[in-house]
Amino acid sequence: MIGNWNTTAARTLRSLRGTSAPMTYTLIAVCCLIFVLGPVSGLTPSYGTGEALAAAQRAYFRHWGVVPADLFDGPAREALTPATALFVHGSWVHLLGNMLFLFVFGAMTEERMGRVQFTLFYIGCGYLALLGYAAANATSQQSLVGASGAISAVLGAFLYLFPSARVTSLLPFLFFLPLRFPAWVVLPFWAALQWLALNQASSGPGVAYLAHLVGFGLGFGYAWVRYRKKKGAKRGPGRAVVGDGRATKVRSAPAPAPEGENQP
């Protein structure tokens, strides 16, 4: 049994080392593993059922998620929660939506930034996105979980690094017809939707749209500061270039999943 586990782990590590974006896939794997082992997945019998399961979920979110009131007026360990919350999700839909977007946009961004820089960028921007939301809602007792702040930063960086990359989008109001648009059309449109939703959102449990916008702005700003000189030297206008100079294409994806349902 142990031998089989060691063999499987070794093969997984070799596979990750052989990819061009190992940290993207590692982050996806870690988020999925944490979710499956936690009380929200419904796959771990030890958390019980009914009210016992609901209580376990509330305690889980409060311990690992960001509670703004505790973050600014609580014990020192609360300062770590904007980092731990990045790996906790509130539902299967929340998890799968976020991981799909990380899979689609994270790999190319990691290839451009490099493994170490991408990992620090992802965690740092995700931390600041949740911190920004908490600062704007400093008295809230609701817990906040999810990787959407970090993934929104990836979208912002992707927009700057690959503005002409063609993104296949499925639009509900056009009967989900697959349409291809450049990133400079799709991603600002997504950001505009987050802004509109933020202005209409209530103060109760729901989606933390502000964390999306903070993450998106941080990601775009970081890429602009870090790569603005190199970008002009390596690629001409109106064309995203990766490696051999071919125009970049990315897979289809829906809008990013909600930022960690504020838990009651």
The mean pLDDT value of the chain amounts to 80
pLDDT: is 179 or 33 the higher one? 33
DSSP bridge partners of 249: 166
pTM for the predicted model, two decimal places: 0.80
192-208 as b/e: b if 16+ CB within 10 A:
eebeeeeeeeeeeeebb
Most confident of the following: 55-64, 67-76, 231-240:
55-64
What does the pLDDT look like over 166-223, one tens digit per residue?
876 655 544 444 656 778 888 988 899 889 888 886 655 668 889 999 999 999 999 9
Q: According to the model, what pLDDT value does residue 72 have?
A: 87
pLDDT at residue 102 tops 60:
yes
Mean pLDDT of 223-244: 59
Q: Which CATH number fits domain 2-250: 1.20.1540.10, 3.50.50.60, 2.40.50.140, 1.10.645.10?
A: 1.20.1540.10
Q: Which residue's entry shows tokens 């002009």?
A: 232
Mean pLDDT of 217-230: 92
Number of other residues whose CB lies within 10 A of the CB of residue 3? 7
Between 209-234 and 148-161, two packed helices, what is the crossing angle to 10 degrees? 30
Q: According to the model, what pLDDT value does residue 112 have?
A: 94
Catalytic residue among 143, 148, 152, 169: 148
All residues at 6 or more sequence positions from 98 whose CB lies less than 8 Å from its CB, including other chains = 31, 89, 146, 147, 148, 151, 256, 257
Catalytic-residue membership of 148: yes
Helix (H, G, I), strand (E, B) or coil at 179: strand
Number of other residues whose CB lies within 10 A of the CB of residue 263? 18
Mean pLDDT of 41-63: 91
What does the pLDDT look like over 145-156, one tens digit per residue?
999 999 999 999
Q: In what order do the strands lie in the sheet with 249-250?
A: 177-182, 166-171, 249-250
Q: According to the model, what pLDDT value does residue 259 have?
A: 47
Catalytic-residue membership of 212: yes
Q: Domain ranges in the chain?
A: 2-250
Q: Which residue's entry shows tokens 């959407």?
A: 148
Assign 53 a pLDDT band (cuts: 50, 70, 90). very high
Mean pLDDT of 43-62: 91
Catalytic residue among 94, 143, 152, 212: 212
Rounded distance between C-alpha atoms, residue 123 and residue 132, angstroms: 14
Rounded distance between C-alpha atoms, residue 185 and residue 159, angstroms: 9
DSSP conformational letter for 205: S
Rounded distance between C-alpha atoms, residue 206 and residue 215, angstroms: 18
Q: According to the model, what pLDDT value does residue 204 have?
A: 57
